[in-house]
Amino acid sequence: MDELLLPAQRLFGAAWPTVWTLAKIIAITVPLILCVAYLTLVERKVIGWMQVRIGPNRVGPLGLLQPFADVFKLIFKEIVVPTGASRTLFFVAPVLSIGPALAAWAVIPFDDGLVLANVNAGLLYILAMTSVGVYGVILAGWASNSKYAFLGCLRSAAQIVSYEIAMGFALVGVLMAASSLNISDIVRNQSGGLSHWYIWPLFPLFVVYLVSGIAETNRHPFDVAEGESEIVAGFHVEYSGVAFAVFFLAEYMNMILISALASIMFLGGWLSPWPTIPDGLPWLLLKMCAVLFIFLWIRATFPRYRYDQIMRLGWKVFIPITLVWIVFLGAMMQTRWAYLFH
């Protein structure tokens, strides 16, 4: 591989590291955007099948070109800026929501050594980036100068701040088990087959993480921020065309990110379930698909939560569960059963 790159390295000279990093970023981003495009199709198909419908089947064979039709439709639509909107912030908001969603992928390891930035504090970086994503939603709601958008943004801000705590505590359990903040190390510590994955010793934390992840991404059944039946479309009600598409992209990208993180932290990332089968990227993708399917499954199954129930679940159920499990984990690590929790 290195020999193959030598001519390119000579061509760019001192700028080579920058060019090479850019190439890596593009190699992550482009497949990601394609994944988002097809996730929207899969979502509609899966929910369609669950509700005994067919789903989109008109554009291309089996409806496979539907995402592109949607994209072209959105690109050619006019972007309407509401009267009295705060113009700059109105356009900054979608950028702020997609920026962190993309930036978090920098530390996601796809295979052993296949990671853009192998930083030591990777887990913290992920937490920081996902917590910044809320600004897009808040600003969109405020800058739109619309009641519905504002209500949506307030709900979303409260919800994200509440569930972030439970999510952070769930990851504290992971870092206790792995005794590392480096995401690649966390995966390597789970090697040795299915029984070594952290989903078993940390099962309550896995459930909390997954549900908080759904709440963080404002997905059904926690989508009061969008709540079609109450506040039209919530924070992005005033957005149209490409600006709306960017919000959409950010939401789905966050979904994929949460599924990737759940696979990495609890399901062994790129590791295969049996030590005899070789590890690799396909395993990670398979696990991500399974988690994403759970997201869609939940969306097709459950009714929307009431706002006070969301708050109760976050503060009175999840945070106590995670706290108790962290203390239990710490206590067990001092006993002779500690090997079960590493």
Partner 1 sequence: MTAQTVIFYAFAAILVFAALRVITSRNPVHSALWLVLSFFSSAGVWMLLHAEFLAIALVLVYVGAVMVLFLFVVMMLDVNFDKMREGFRGYIPVGATVGLLILVEMALVLIGGYLPAGATPSPGQTGPGYSNTSALGRQIYTDYAFPFEIAAVILLVAIIAAIALTHRTRRETKYQNPNEQVKVSRADRLRIIDMPLEKKE
Site residues (CB under 8 A) for partner 1? 89, 119-121, 124-125, 127-128, 131-132, 134-135, 138-139, 142, 150, 154, 157-158, 160-161, 164, 181, 308-309, 312
Structure-token pair, residue 178: 């792995």
Question: Min. distance of Cβ 120 from partner 1 in angstroms?
Answer: 4
Which residue do the tokens 């790129």 mark? 270
Question: Min. distance of Cβ 128 from partner 1 in angstroms?
Answer: 4
> Cα angle at 290 between 262 and 323, to 5 degrees?
30
Minimum CB distance to partner 1 smaller for 154 or for 323: 154
In 3D space, the residue among 167, 150, 281 whose CA is nearest the CA of residue 213 turns out to be: 167
Minimum CB distance to partner 1 smaller for 58 or for 306: 306
Q: Residue 34 half-sphere exposure, CB side, CA atoms within 13 Å?
A: 7
Question: Min. distance of Cβ 124 from partner 1 in angstroms?
Answer: 4
Structure-token pair, residue 148: 């519905």
Name the DSSP class of 273: S
What is the torsion angle, in degrees rounded to the nearest 10, for the CA atoms of residue 294, residue 299, residue 300 and residue 302? 110
How many other CB atoms are there within 10 angstroms of residue 283's CB atom?
A: 20
Question: Min. distance of Cβ 102 from partner 1 in angstroms?
Answer: 16
Minimum CB distance to partner 1 smaller for 157 or for 284: 157
Structure-token pair, residue 204: 């309550």
Name the DSSP class of 102: H
Question: Min. distance of Cβ 168 from partner 1 in angstroms?
Answer: 8
C-beta separation of 146 from 90 below 8 A: no
Amino acid making up residue 26: I
Question: Min. distance of Cβ 45 from partner 1 in angstroms?
Answer: 33
In 3D space, the residue among 91, 44, 4 whose CA is nearest the CA of residue 296 turns out to be: 44
Minimum CB distance to partner 1 smaller for 132 or for 300: 132
Minimum CB distance to partner 1 smaller for 7 or for 113: 113
Strand-pair partners of 114: 111
Minimum CB distance to partner 1 smaller for 95 or for 161: 161
Question: Min. distance of Cβ 119 from partner 1 in angstroms?
Answer: 7
Minimum CB distance to partner 1 smaller for 73 or for 87: 87
